[in-house]
Amino acid sequence: MQPPSKSAPPEQQAITLPVRGALASLSLAMLLPALGTSIANVGLPDMARALHAPFQDVQWIVLAYLLAITALIVSVGRLGDMVGRRRLLLAGIALFAVASILCALAPTLWLLVAARALQGLGASVMMALTMAFVGSTVPKARTGSAMGLLGTMSAIGTTLGPALGGLLIARFGWQAIFLVNVPLAGVALLLAWRYLPADQRGANAKRPVFDHRGTMLLALTLAAYALAMTLGRGHFGMRNVALLLAACVGAIVFVRVELKAPAPLIRLAMLRAPVLSAGLATSMLVSTVMMSTLVVGPFYLARGLGLGTAATGMVLAAGPLVAAFCGVPSGWLVDRYGAQRMGGAGLCGAAFACLALALLPASLGIAGYVVPIMLLTASYALFQAANNTAVMVDIVPEQRGVISGMLNLSRNLGLVTGASVMGAVFAAGTSDIASAPPAAMIAGMHATFGVASVLILAALAIFVLGRAMSKAGKPA
């Protein structure tokens, strides 16, 4: 099948493009950043030994990657809207592959950290632009299914990382966890080049103006916030407070700059749209709750229920596996019954699951933990597919990149916030979580998901309010 004429508008191209090839390229572009996040964690001990570095310094291998994504994801989304999403996505995939090679070849820790930051830049491009491409490659009636597929690929990348990383390190050494990205990125690059629609720009189009001041301010503000939430593992010291204050000041200055900028990075007036503002807020709240399962789960299972390492790992795998299997069916449900209805259903399911985790006694054992976690994960998959569809489906083409970046940013901010805040809630009743008795672990788990229940109910209230405001704002 021949590619469509480059003169055809993007919305018409979406009808004639080979949708499966386009979705395959976008799926790989979503899988790679998730794999890059999860696969590195398992290799930290080996890299610490090989590079003769203390574990505190080796953590920057993970932090540099996450900071680059968090700080730059909105900016690269906006850049894609301006210079062309296909062009920038191809560059992002290529950068991710080159940076992966540099990671494997790095002779020192800090060169590896620098290469990981470059890899994070490539990952931020892929994360920001994959959802933006859905509108120009997939028919509107199948948007939910496409969003569900992308969610599935992200879950597969997260689930696959630790197991694949362990096998590669045992057989080939820690360098292999980075080199495995190269052939996957090569396939993604070829598919994207062949199947994604060409960038469109009119002959008389004005040269776009990039908001350099806003970009720098937002990147510094987000980096300060992410560092404040991650340094110290939830134990806030003066350094964390200083970084958090810097992030607050940066946010205020950013808003003032954007209000005066002739071509702002983020048009703040967009946030007045109820669907968008509610979608971003609920995404951050729900992601904060989902991070609780990763923070609390290992300690509760190992120390609260007394499970061994292998059994703990198997139980923890239940959530990601459910997410991987539920993504595509969730997208189908969104297409069949509507994003608003399924988004509400997902939030209700998540609220019920969090309440069960907060109230069910530990005497129920593994089943009392796994069943609610599976419900929570399935509900999250449904909410994500519905929320992403509701936000992206009617966005005008020139704003898809920045809105997609903002959606991914809200998720990332929720994850880093959850790691810090929910971890602090869990550990509040003990001075040393590593040696706390089982009763303290059980109490901490109940307290954490009690707070999580409140956050989910708040997200549900915002969701309902946003839907009501959206309906009220529509002409009769």
pLDDT tens, residue by residue, 132-144: 888 777 777 788 8
Give the pLDDT of residue 430.
Answer: 66
Question: Using one digit for the tens of pLDDT, what is the confidence trace for 384-415?
Answer: 989 988 888 767 777 778 888 888 888 888 88
Q: Is pLDDT above 90 for 18?
A: no
pLDDT of residue 176: 93
Decide: 105 and 96 in contact? Cβ < 8 Å. no
For residue 7, pLDDT beyond 80 = no
Question: For 46-80, how does the pLDDT look when each residue is reduced to its tens digit (9 = 90+)?
Answer: 888 888 888 778 878 888 898 888 888 888 888 88
Q: What average pLDDT score do residues 149-166 get? A: 82
- Write the burial class of residue 182 (CB in 10 Å: 0-12 exposed, 13-18 middle, 19+ buried): middle
The pLDDT tens digits of the residues spanning 227-280 come to 888 776 556 778 889 999 999 999 999 999 988 888 787 888 788 888 889 999
Residues 6+ apart with CB under 8 A from 373: 293, 297, 318, 319, 353, 357
Q: State the pLDDT at residue 235.
A: 67
Q: Is 2 exposed, middle or buried (0-12, 13-18, 19+ CB in 10 A)?
A: exposed
pLDDT band for 355, please (50, 70, 90 cuts). Answer: very high
Read off the tokens for 99.
């940076």
Q: How confident is the model over 294-328, as pLDDT tens digits?
A: 778 878 888 888 888 678 778 877 887 888 888 88
CB atoms within 10 A of CB 127: 29
| Model confidence pLDDT, tens digit, residues 420-465 | 788 788 877 666 666 678 888 888 889 999 999 999 999 999 999 9
* pLDDT given at position 136: 74
Q: What is the pTM of this model?
A: 0.81
How far, in Å, CA of 446 to CA of 359, rounded?
Answer: 7
Per-residue pLDDT at 285 = 94
Q: Which residues have C-beta within 8 Å of that of residue 126, sequence separation ≥ 6?
A: 29, 30, 32, 33, 89, 92, 93, 96
Instruction: Count Cβ atoms within 10 A of the Cβ of residue 355 and give its class: 0-12 exposed, 13-18 middle, 19 or more buried.
Output: middle
| pLDDT for residue 93 | 96
Report the pLDDT value the prediction gives residue 429, as an integer from 0 to 100. 63
User: What is the distance between the alpha carbons of residues 343 and 345, in angstroms, rounded to a whole number?
Assistant: 5
% of the chain with per-residue pLDDT over 90 = 32
In this prediction, residue 253 carries a pLDDT of 93
Whether the pLDDT of residue 23 is over 50: the answer is yes
Residue 202 scores a pLDDT above 60:
no
State which H helix or E strand residue 370 sits in. helix 365-392
Q: For 179-192, what is the mean pLDDT?
A: 94
pLDDT at 474: 60
pLDDT of residue 432: 63
3-state secondary structure of 196: coil
Closest to 379 (Cα-Cα) out of 330, 334, 318, 314: 330
What pLDDT is attached to residue 233? 59
CA distance 128 to 73: 6
The residue assigned the tokens 């940013």 is 409
Q: What is the pLDDT of residue 165?
A: 84
- Which is it for the CA torsion 446, 280, 324, 226, positive or negative? negative
According to the model, what pLDDT value does residue 196 have? 87
Mean of the per-residue pLDDT values for the chain?
84
pLDDT of residue 454: 96
- The listed range with the strongest mean pLDDT (9-13, 149-153, 158-162) is 149-153
**Which residue did the predictor score with more confidence, 228 or 159?**
228
